[in-house]
Structure 1
């Protein structure tokens, strides 16, 4: 209903501006396009990439579970095996190329602590920063902590380093240091990435 009202208003404004020759038809259409983008897509972009409100992201994901990637994020956060399984089926149908599918398969296997053949999948991940991140994360997962630390400098994004440092400190039993890195990882992210980090560690720290 609200969406229909919005487009009715937009069409009315276009008609008025065109009939009164306030702007040329091309300018009017451009203005309408920009307004439509701002109203319809800006909130989505803000929620997915920038908001610090984890609860808002959770509601957004739950509402949009028909989208496989959003369903996967939601399922992983809440440990809903059915959502995770169904999301992966949908993703495999949607993304046919190995490099497109690789990161989702790696995320899936990390969640279930299944390290079989995961190195081959990691090699296929694009873009490079994410491949390097999962290479280091794999080293942590299999207990190669010193090698993982030596490769931290390869990680260009701050939140990636902080997440790895969180894991390293947890495995060393340094709860306080791990929490500090966790907070830095949260502070350096927004939207879906912040949501994912929050739910990964929310039960490991008393906040």
Structure 2
């Protein structure tokens, strides 16, 4: 998010400097526009391309009023029950069907409600989340053949499914390897979510901390 306080302060400062040095008005506007573009670019880089978990977390904390970003903090620090509550706030807040159906599916998976999870996965045709959700359900249920049958368009998704299968099969070494591959293959907010969700999955499975 753009820090509008900085924009206002910058505008005032440029106004004073323009008056002192008789700069044309276009110079001040150009500087403000450039600042806004750089701020937006930095925001998108952190959210979608950064691999620095520290910077990603700072971005999330600054914007935690957004239900989705607040949910990511809960994934890191909260209990399973708090995660469910956070997902329900995301579902209630966003109007976009893809977001609602994705989080309804994720909520059902977290509750081990496989029938409901499949229902919402079926409502995500033409997206990457439908096949991934179905693969996750199959992996949670230990159906390796089915889990591997869905077309996944990203390497991190493939590795995350392998990690879940390893968890279900109680294969710690394979889980560690595929969890690391999934995290390394993801960027931005997805990297943060995977890092903490896989760490929590391992702890809940009574494995040692990753």
Smaller-chain TM-score bracket: 0.7 to 0.9
2:156 to 141, 154, 159: 159
Gaps of 5+ in 2: none
Q: Quick check: 2:46–2:188 contact (8 Å CA) kept in 1? A: yes
1:125-136 alignment to 2 at 5 Å?
125=124, 128-136=127-135
**TM-score normalised by L of structure 2:** 0.77
- How far residue 158 of structure 1 moved from its aligned partner, in angstroms, is 0.6
Quote the residue 1:33 is aligned against.
33
More contact order relative to length (CA 8 Å, sep ≥ 6):
1
**TM-score normalised by L of structure 1:** 0.78
Quote the residue 2:23 is aligned against.
20
Q: Quick check: 1:71–1:83 contact (8 Å CA) kept in 2? A: no
Quote the residue 2:121 is aligned against.
122
2:187 to 175, 190, 194: 190
In the alignment, the residues of structure 2 paired with residue 28 and residue 46 of structure 1 have an alpha-carbon distance, to the nearest angstrom, of 26
**Aligned residues between the structures:** 200
Quote the residue 2:165 is aligned against.
168
- How far residue 123 of structure 1 moved from its aligned partner, in angstroms, is 1.5
- How far residue 85 of structure 1 moved from its aligned partner, in angstroms, is 5.0
In the alignment, the residues of structure 1 paired with residue 149 and residue 208 of structure 2 have an alpha-carbon distance, to the nearest angstrom, of 26
Give the aligned CA root-mean-square deviation in angstroms.
Answer: 3.1
1:29-178 alignment to 2 at 5 Å?
29-39=29-39, 41-80=40-79, 83-96=82-95, 98-125=97-124, 128-151=127-150, 154-178=151-175
In the alignment, the residues of structure 2 paired with residue 107 and residue 62 of structure 1 have an alpha-carbon distance, to the nearest angstrom, of 22
Gaps of 5+ in 1: none
Q: What do residues 149-192 of structure 1 show as CA deviations (whole Å, max 9, x unaligned)?
A: 233xx111010000001112232333222211111111111222
